[in-house]
Amino acid sequence: MQEVLQQLWIPLAMALSFGAFTGSLFRLSGRPGSERPLMFPVLGLLGGLTAFMIHQVLVWTVGAPTWLLPILVVLQVWLWLGPLGPKIPRREQDPRE
């Protein structure tokens, strides 16, 4: 039981929390969507979960190293909030303002 905790649940919790933290930091990049501030950490959680699953598959198949997980989390959060992220329309600037 202790081994399952160390090999599965602790890395999962760390990947989720690091994903949420990275998503929150991504909010500071000035991308549109700041009117929905909860979107960034939630998509960061989703990116962390996806990265954890990819890492587990790599560990079980080819024996991937542990240091690969944070890199995968950052890449997944960037993908989920960047090119593959939600399309938020930019507000047009009114020339009278």
3-state secondary structure at position 93 = coil
pLDDT in tens, the chain (97 residues): 677 777 788 889 999 999 999 888 887 776 665 667 788 888 889 999 999 999 999 999 999 998 999 999 999 988 887 766 666 666 665 556 5
Residue spans of the domains in the chain: they are 15-24+41-83
Task: Tell me how far CA of residue 70 lies from CA of 31, 36, 80, 96, in angstroms.
Answer: 23, 26, 15, 46
- Identify the pLDDT of residue 6: 77
- Torsion sign over Cα 70, 74, 75, 77: positive
- The verdict on pTM exceeding 0.85 is no
- Per the rule left: phi > 0, alpha: psi between -120 and 50, beta: everything else, 30 is left
pLDDT of 80: 82
